[in-house]
Structure 1
Amino acid sequence: MTLAPESPAGPSAPQAPASVRAILTAARSADPVSLAEVNARAELLARFDRSYLVPTETFLRMVERLTDPRRAGGPFRALTIDDRRAFRYHSVYYDTPGLRSFHDHRQGRRLRFKIRERVYEDSGERQFEIKLKGRRGDTVKHRRPLTGADTPLDGAFRSFLADTLHRAYAIDAPAALLPSLSTDYLRATLVADGERVTCDAGLVCDDLRAPRSVRCDPGLVLVETKTAGHLTEADHLLHAYGVRPAVFTKYCGALAALRPGLPGNRWRRAARHAFG
């Protein structure tokens, strides 16, 4: 896919989707914060995530409030690396031939997991990530860097997966895994103490087992609030603007849209909103 990459001066393509322009505007409106400080203040590898599909005008109203210099506790700041404030993400999700991960999430099983390779395209960094559901219903992420020709299906990463699932859930890792879905999008991240707001635009999802793809509505920003527990200020603002949490994840929502024959009713409404 082609997103409008950010340059220090701003987006390189004025014709970029409204959602892309909105997150670039939002990121530029905030003071910068380094990755090291983000990890110190709000790394949140164990956290509660809430997802929202937010019209761009509402999104910009929320950001104006969060980045107000008069905000109690100080304004949210934008993750900034080498003068860049919006970053291209590419992820490949792995699942069993029968889509065990998808169905475990559909059925609300407590011992469920997602497996993916995440690529930070602007830096070239790659991570193998395992996302688990914690005892409190929170998301717990385990990760290990990928280098060179490494793939998530290599022996060392299969062992890491097996060890992680055994320690966390006392279950065996799946015997067979295949790439099932890829996602591409542009992300800006706003940070305050103990909380983060990720803002994704231009989402494109490709079914890796069939030649199909879906694109998110260009007038929507996918906002995710991430915190150790309580509702954040961003949650309260969005609720006040009439935007409620969406039953939506990139992996399950996209598969529900891409494969209408799957029993994905819990995501169908949000997927129609996101993808049309």
Structure 2
Amino acid sequence: MTAVRAVARVAEDAAPISLAEVNERAQLLTRFDRKYLVPASVFLSVAGRLTDSRWPGGPFRVLAIGGRRAFRYHSVYYDTLELRSFHDHRQGRRLRFKIRERVYEDSGERQFEVKLKGGRGDTVKRRRALTGADTPLDARCRAYLAETLRRAHGVDAPMILCPSITTDYLRTTLVADGERVTCDVGLVCGDPRTGRAVHGDAALVLVETKSAGHLSDVDRLLHAHGVRPAVFTKYCGALAALRPTLPANRWRRAVRRVFGEAE
């Protein structure tokens, strides 16, 4: 079974939850994230447990908006010419950031987002809406970026930014009190410089657990199924696959699994 079909089956069977209720119960703009590469068959077993009425604290529900339970995401990541964000992550810097424009393609909503990694390993997301012809390189976004980085990390914003990677995928989100599990399939990553693209393995679900604490019951369930956290991010993994001369040894194993021998 493909990952798309596996996630669709889980989404169809789960009880729905509205976006307003998600924002009330599990918005999690500050959180701990853990990523997993989950075979479709294992995902069905794990998700079946999470959405079962006997799950402790109540079953996970699926985000539903306008009758949809899966949503198309398009992101454009911005970095310096020297790929500062990529290398800060590669070097394991405790205080680092990523910059992107995210487009929710089903609604047309656009957000300028700054993802900050804190000293405790937590992720904080700051964002402002983009409207009309706004772009992340406009003066207002640059001012927002500068203020965000100054307040959060005490650093100056990069003077020059340019698009570095694009990502497209289909996301389904499972939600419980204080927890979210995002399930991404159909990943396609592109390099704006060359027009080259790589496609994710159709049999893998890219699962990310998001919670206010460290190890959750969802993480423990995945571990019990033999799935361990993956050293992988869409941004760094895509760069490692699309620009094989970059020093990216820490991601090579996951990149091979997600994209095959693309790197």
TM bracket (short chain): over 0.9
Alignment-mate amino acid for residue 179 of structure 1: P
Name the TM-score, length of structure 2 as normaliser.
0.97
| TM-score (normalised: structure 1) | 0.93
Name 2:137's counterpart in structure 1.
153
Shift of 1:99: 0.6
Distance 1:146 1:26 in 2: 32
* Cα contact 1:27–1:78 (8 A) shared by 2: yes
Secondary structure of 1:136's aligned partner: coil
User: Residue 111 of structure 1: CA displacement?
Assistant: 2.3
* Structure 2 letter corresponding to 1:57: S
The equivalent of 1:132 in structure 2 is 116
Q: Distance in 2 between matches of 1:77 and 1:66?
A: 9
Q: C-alpha separation between the residues in 2 aligned to 1:71 and 1:238?
A: 14
SS in 2 for 1:72: coil
Aligned to 1:179: 163
- For 2:151 and 2:17, locate their aligned partners in 1 and report how far apart those are by CA, in whole Å: 35
Q: Deviations over 1:79-100 (max 9, x none)?
A: 0001110000000000001111
Q: Once the two structures are superposed, what CA deviation does each residue of 1:164-219 show, in whole Å capped at 9, x if it has no partner?
A: 01111111100000001000000000000010000000000001122321111000
Q: C-alpha separation between the residues in 2 aligned to 1:230 and 1:107?
A: 22
From 100, 112, 115, give the equivalent of 1:116.
Answer: 100
Supply the AA of the counterpart residue of 1:160. Answer: Y
Is the contact between residue 96 and residue 118 of structure 2 (CA under 8 Å) also seen in structure 1?
no
Query: Which of 99, 117, 125 is 1:141 aligned to?
Result: 125
Partners of 1:240 and 1:214 in 2: CA distance: 31
Partner of 1:101: 85
Contact 1:49 1:226 in 2 (8 A): yes
- Number of equivalenced pairs: 260
Q: Secondary structure at the match of 1:238?
A: helix
Q: Secondary structure at the match of 1:243?
A: coil
Match of 2:19 among 32, 35, 51: 35
Aligned residue for 2:147? 163
Contact 1:207 1:258 in 2 (8 A): yes
Gaps of 5+ in 2: none
Shift of 1:233: 2.1
SS class of match (2:236): helix
Once residues 209 and 101 of structure 1 are traced to their aligned partners in structure 2, the CA distance between those partners, rounded to angstroms, is 17
Q: Identify the match of residue 48 of structure 2 among 61, 64, 67.
A: 64
Partner of 1:4: none
Question: 1:198 and 1:244 mapped to 2: Cα distance?
Answer: 16
1:89 aligns with 2:61: no
Cα distance in 1 between the residues matched to 2:229 and 2:153: 28
Question: How far apart, CA to CA, are the structure 2 residues paired with 1:205 and 1:60?
Answer: 25
Instruction: State percent identity of aligned pairs.
Output: 72
Q: Distance in 2 between matches of 1:32 and 1:156?
A: 37
Q: For 1:232-271, list aligned pairs within 5 A.
A: 232-271=216-255
Partner of 1:181: helix, strand, or coil? Answer: strand
Q: Cα offset for 1:238?
A: 1.1
Matches of 2:165 and 2:156 in 1, distance apart?
A: 23
Instruction: Identify unmatched segments of 5+ residues in structure 1.
Output: 1-16
Displacement of 1:230 in angstroms is 2.8
- RMSD over aligned Cα, in angstroms? 0.9
| Aligned twin of 1:220 | 204
Q: Deviations over 1:26-67 (max 9, x none)?
A: 111110000010011110001111000000000000011000
Alignment of 1:189 onto 2:173: yes
